[in-house]
Structure 1
């Protein structure tokens, strides 16, 4: 599951609208609906806090309008990537997208189960830096509550779930191969949290982004093969039963030496002034 247009070009993994195709040579983030590369299908009951962001007006009905992922951290509160809410992705400011919705409780995007809930309000981190990709998160407030048990706990600063070597799982509906093979069913991939030194070496700065340990973490496998991908942006990275990251950016999908980069959840808690677990 990777959240970029093309890992080598622009790490942010949002899906481009079918009506406005963004060239692969563009540095504009692709819409975040990528799926996990090297992953496996899962039922949403295994991760009920995993949601899809949808706008059929913008992205069409083939995939129920899905363009990014998100994660419920409260019954009416969803976190996603800030770049998913950019005008380049949505075609307009989020408050002017009348059918912006969260799809919850649904493994298959075109199934009839689960809920489609309108987004009542969007708060985008004003400190999001589109050059480095730092601070890549937004908070969505829902018009109706999700069922009990649909949200996940967030890992605060110092939580052992952030330790290098910890196994984590990333979820999404995006590109499963890195070459535009999108699926309509929820997938997951198991990856390992990487040392900050590994991430800094992979992303020292440049057109793709700059790794900043305070606001980011990265996860993947040394040999590549398992990763988030295009369209997974904003989706959850979970370790030891707690949310540790949001799919944000990276180079390619599942490439050796190019682990996926995630927004660090402890930094989100700090920025918002929410309790650190």
Structure 2
């Protein structure tokens, strides 16, 4: 949630309260844009971006969207493991009768694209909820998406992960850091940052969470103002046309001194999915 450990808990639970009429405090965050500092994104340019949806759980205002995901094979979607937690879903994933992905559609309530039911879920067994290390899950779809929707995963240690590399993050999350969510897909340009930048921002100790470069990737805007935020969890970070990260956690939204922390997909994704 960028303020506590994960972005999704603030974003998803905020959507639950909106759907049920319960009252919850806004997550403390500072931001100044969309996907914080972003702009509208055409789904034709990013067909691999999907929205995770359950209208039963999150209501129909945003077509049930609560997290993001990315297509890595016609029947496989990656997302953040914490998006499938009981705190978010209110139970096990299989208990959501309408758990699906919205693919090929930028506007959540728009036309076109398709909604595909999720037939099975796999959560990385090395995922540690207390630290968010290994924050990755694989969703198996009941029907295949077009091969053209698939994005390739960056290899371990490849150039796309090098500090200074331009990257883009995508999602339908909070546009301001105060609970105003996008209704259409947005993206923001950031850059891959050295591990040292996140090690300084998240040193751990005294119960704090520390950054781990073996399973996490540091990215953001050195000047601040561009970032992922609540509701973007599980969405893709893309560099050089390759998937390098999944939105995972951080502190605040768009704060220069607190970069975004992403799951390092190249090292966490199993070789066979």
Q: Is the 8 A contact 1:208 1:251 kept in 2?
A: no
- Write the mapping of 1:1-277 to structure 2, written as runs, cut at 5 A: 4=1, 7-13=2-8, 14-16=11-13, 17-18=16-17, 19=20, 23-24=24-25, 36-205=35-204, 209-269=209-269, 272-274=270-272
The number of residue pairs the alignment matches comes to: 261
* CA shift for structure 1 position 8: 2.0
Separation in 2 of the partners of 1:145 and 1:252? 37
CA 251–22 in structure 1, closer or farther in 2 if over 3 Å, else same? farther
- What TM-score do you get using the length of structure 1 for normalisation? 0.90
For residues 89 and 76 of structure 2, the distance between their equivalents in structure 1, rounded to whole angstroms, comes to: 20
1:183: Cα distance to partner?
Answer: 1.3
**Shift of residue 23 of structure 1?**
4.2
Instruction: Report the Cα distance in structure 2 between the residues aligned to 1:169 and 1:80, rounded to whole angstroms.
Output: 16
Deviation (angstroms), 1:22: 7.9
Partners of 2:214 and 2:122 in 1: how far apart?
A: 21
The whole-number CA distance in structure 2 between the counterparts of 1:22 and 1:233 is 22
Instruction: Quote the Cα distance in structure 1 between the aligned partners of 2:262 and 2:96.
Output: 26
Higher helix share: 2
> In 1, distance between residues paired with 2:91 and 2:37?
33
How far 1:24 moved relative to its partner? 4.5
Calculate the aligned-residue CA RMSD, in Å: 1.9
User: CA offset at residue 126 of structure 1?
Assistant: 1.8
Residue ranges of structure 2 left out of the alignment (5+ in a row): 28-33
Would you identify which runs of 4 or more consecutive aligned residues in structure 1 move more than 6 Å? none
Verify the 8 A CA contact 1:55 1:101 in the aligned structure 2.
Answer: yes
Stretch deviating more after TM superposition (125-134 or 225-234): 125-134
